[in-house]
C-alpha cells in the first residue's frame, strides 16, 4: 500500500500553532485508565563463563531496571504527558505489585483504583540480558509470571464499582486490554460510555461496542474484520467494517512504517470544510478518512509500547478539544519519539513541541 502524502505537510504547517496550543493544555485533561497492569523487569549482567553444571552462561549480576509495561505503560504515558490520571486495575500481593504502585505514585498517578489480588501474581515480564566486556548487551531469555485464571467475582465487582464512581469525574476513559483478565465483562460494562471511552484491545473489539475510539494496529484490524488489508480498497473497507462492528465514532488503524489511517463518522455537510480526505457512503452514515505518514522511519530502535504512546497522546488531545485529525497527528508524533529508545518508553510535551517544530522547518 502506498499513499499520496503531498497534501499532508502544508496541512501540518497550517495547523502547527493550534497543535502547540493543544499540547499546552494536556495538563488540564482528566483520565481514568483501566488496564492489565504489567511490570517489565530488565536484569543485566556480564558474562563470566560457561557453567559446569549445564551448557549455559553464568552472568555476574549488574543491575535491575523496572518500568511499567502492558496496560501500565499506557497509564504511565498519560501521566508523563501531563494528564491528571487515575488508574484502575489489579496487582498481586507481591514485590512486583508494590514496585508498580510506587512507580505510579512517584509520577503523580492516583492509585486508589488498584486492587490487590492475593490469588494471582502481578503480571511480570523479566528479561535477562548479558554482555561480554566492551560488547553490546543482548537479551538471553524472558521469564513471564501471570495467571490464566480470571479474578474472583468479588474483585471484579469492586473494580466495576470503582469505575462507575469515577466516570463522572473524568474527561475520558481508556481501556488498555492485553488479555490478562482485568477487563472482564463487568468492568467493560462499567467503562464503556458513548463519547468518552477509548479502547486499545488486541482481540474481541465488539466487546467494547459503543466506545468512542478504537486504535487497532494492522494485524489486530485484520483479525477483527477477517481479511487481509493490503491495498487502499481493503483499507477503506476495513475502516467501514470496523466502524460497523464496534459502533464507534472513530477508528485509528496504525500501520507501522506506512503511518496510520483515521476513519470517522461524519455528517455529509461537515465534509466540505475538512482537511484532505477520501469519503465513502455506507448506508446509514458517511465516513471521512485521513492518511497520516510515518514521522520517523530511520531512527526506529524498538516499537515496543509505541501503541500505548499513541493512545495516551490521542486521549489527552481529544480531552482538550482537538479534532480527530489533530489527535491522530499528535499521537503519531509522540510515537515517533519513543521508538528511538529501547524498551517501553515515554515522552513529554516539551519533546513533542521540539519534534513538531523540527518537522515543519525541515
Known catalytic residues are 308
Cα–Cα nearest to 196, from 319, 350, 343: 319
Residues, the chain, total?
362
Buried b (16+ CB within 10 A) or exposed e, 19-38: beebbebbeebebbbbbbbb
> How many CB atoms are closer than 10 A to CB 88?
30
How far, in Å, CA of 266 to CA of 270, rounded? 7
Checking phi first, is residue 342 left (phi over 0); if not, alpha (psi -120 to 50) or beta?
Answer: beta
Three-state secondary structure call for residue 161: helix
Buried b (16+ CB within 10 A) or exposed e, 242-264: bbebbebbbbbbbbeebbbbbbb
> How many CB atoms are closer than 10 A to CB 97?
21
What lies within 8 Å, CB to CB, of 102 at 6+ separation is none
Q: What is the dihedral of CA 97, 37, 257, 198, to 10 degrees?
A: -150
- What DSSP character marks residue 171? S
Amino acid at each position: 500500500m502506498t499513499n499520496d502524502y503531498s497534501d499532508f505537510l502544508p496541512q501540518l504547517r497550517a495547523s502547527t500553532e493550534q497543535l502547540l496550543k493543544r499540547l499546552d493544555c494536556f495538563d488540564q485533561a482528566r483520565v481514568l485508565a483501566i488496564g492489565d497492569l504489567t511490570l517489565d523487569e530488565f536484569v543485566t549482567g556480564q558474562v563470566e563463563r560457561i557453567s559446569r553444571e549445564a551448557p549455559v552462561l553464568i552472568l555476574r549480576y549488574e543491575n535491575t531496571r523496572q518500568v511499567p509495561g502492558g496496560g501500565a505503560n499506557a497509564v504511565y504515558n498519560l501521566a508523563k504527558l501531563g494528564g491528571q490520571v487515575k488508574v484502575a486495575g489489579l496487582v498481586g500481593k507481591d514485590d512486583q505489585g508494590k514496585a508498580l504502585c510506587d512507580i505510579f505514585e512517584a509520577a503523580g498517578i492516583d492509585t486508589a483504583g488498584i486492587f490487590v489480588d492475593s490469588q494471582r501474581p502481578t503480571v511480570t515480564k523479566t528479561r535477562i540480558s548479558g554482555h561480554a566486556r566492551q560488547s553490546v548487551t543482548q537479551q538471553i531469555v524472558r521469564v513471564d509470571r501471570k495467571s490464566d485464571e480470571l479474578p474472583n467475582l468479588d474483585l471484579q465487582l469492586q473494580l466495576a464499582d470503582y469505575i462507575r464512581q469515577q466516570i463522572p469525574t473524568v474527561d475520558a476513559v481508556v481501556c488498555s486490554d492485553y488479555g490478562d483478565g482485568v477487563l472482564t465483562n463487568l468492568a467493560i460494562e462499567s467503562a464503556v460510555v458513548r463519547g468518552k471511552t477509548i479502547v486499545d484491545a488486541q482481540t474481541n473489539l465488539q466487546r467494547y461496542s459503543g466506545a468512542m475510539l478504537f486504535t487497532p494496529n494492522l494485524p489486530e484490524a485484520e483479525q477483527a474484520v477477517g481479511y487481509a488489508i493490503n491495498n487502499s480498497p481493503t483499507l477503506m473497507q476495513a475502516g467501514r467494517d470496523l466502524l460497523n462492528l464496534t459502533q464507534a465514532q472513530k477508528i485509528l488503524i496504525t500501520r507501522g512504517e506506512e503511518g496510520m489511517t483515521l476513519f470517522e463518522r461524519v455528517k455529509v455537510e461537515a465534509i466540505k470544510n475538512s482537511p484532505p480526505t477520501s469519503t465513502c457512503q455506507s448506508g446509514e452514515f458517511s465516513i471521512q478518512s485521513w492518511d497520516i505518514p510515518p514521522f520517523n522511519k530511520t531512527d526506529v530502535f524498538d516499537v515496543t509500547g509505541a501503541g500505548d504512546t499513541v493512545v495516551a497522546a490521542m486521549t489527552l488531545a481529544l480531552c482538550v478539544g482537538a479534532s480527530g485529525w489533530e489527535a491522530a497527528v499528535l499521537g503519531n508524533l509522540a510515537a515517533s519519539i519513543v521508538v528511538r529508545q529501547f524498551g517501553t518508553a515515554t515522552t513529554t510535551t516539551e519533546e513533542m513541541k521540539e519534534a513538531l517544530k523540527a518537522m515543519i522547518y525541515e
